[in-house]
A and B are shown apart, each in its own frame.
Chain A
Amino acid sequence: EVQLLDSGGGLVQPGGSRRLSCGASGFTFRTYAMSWVRQAPGKGLEWVSSISGRGDKTYYADSVKGRFTISRDNSRNTLSLQMNSLRAADTAVYYCAKEKDSSGWWDYWGQGTLVTVSS
């Protein structure tokens, strides 16, 4: 059974940093691209970042480029998102998601972790 467990959310001050993690199990992690997708309170879904299975290719939304860094540790089946220079607009539930065959859509999602940026 595929499982994705998001963690690392919490309250952060504007300008601060936070690192999110996603532990994966039930599939061959290194084989699949992974992504982060977020959802601001009461709003729609927004793609944030994706990384290839080997970790050699990364992609970012313009809204986070230069501030967020996606990475993965295939030896530990873990996906990470380092978030720096956080803004109030970054407040959201962050979901990690498994991409199906590097296709650009996601067949499994984590339960989400809430990041609140506020003073």
Chain B
Amino acid sequence: EIVLTQSPGTLSLSPGERATLSCRASQTVTKNNLAWYQQKPGQAPRLLIYGASNRAIDIPDRFSGSGSGTDFTLTISRLEPDDFAVYHCQQYSSTPLTFGGGTKVEIK
């Protein structure tokens, strides 16, 4: 099983700042088979990024994904009020499909 570790657990930032979220895998995630989701309280997750760096439909370009192998990053270039939420990474390189523990981006 591929274990995903997200860091930091909580990121305290102000609107307009840059957010950098990390997702590290316990073994190689092949073919960049990694996705990122955003989740707000009481809501279902929303797909942001697939294939490590491909934005999903209607996702603003301030969201970008990068990385390969075991180290992946989600970057939000300039935080907007709507971006404060929990972010989850997920690997689909092998079963069981697994998620990281999440990073909460909160308003400083």
A78 CB-CB contact with B under 8 Å: no
A selection of 7 A-B contacts at a CB cut-off of 8 Å is A44-B88, A44-B100, A44-B101, A45-B102, A100-B50, A104-B93, A107-B57
Q: Is the interface of B mostly helix, strand, loop or mixed?
A: loop
Contacting residues, chain B, for A108 (C-beta < 8 A)? 47
B46 CB-CB contact with A under 8 Å: yes
Contacting residues, chain A, for B56 (C-beta < 8 A)? 107
Contact call A45/B90, Cβ cutoff below 8 A: yes
Assuming the contacts A44-B102, A45-B90, A46-B99, asked whether A103 and B46 have C-beta atoms less than 8 A apart, the reply is no
Partner of B33, one of A45, A95, A104: A104
Contacting residues, chain A, for B33 (C-beta < 8 A)? 103-105
Contact call B45/A105, Cβ cutoff below 8 A: no
Give CA–CA (A108, B44) in the complex, Å: 9
Interface size band for B: 20 to 34
Tell me how far the C-beta of A97 lies from the nearest C-beta in chain B, rounded to whole angstroms. 8
B60 CB-CB contact with A under 8 Å: no
Contact call B44/A104, Cβ cutoff below 8 A: no
Contacting residues, chain B, for A50 (C-beta < 8 A)? 97
Residue of A nearest to B39 (CB): A45
Tell me how far the C-beta of A51 lies from the nearest C-beta in chain B, rounded to whole angstroms. 13
Contact call B45/A45, Cβ cutoff below 8 A: yes
Contact call A104/B97, Cβ cutoff below 8 A: yes
B14 CB-CB contact with A under 8 Å: no
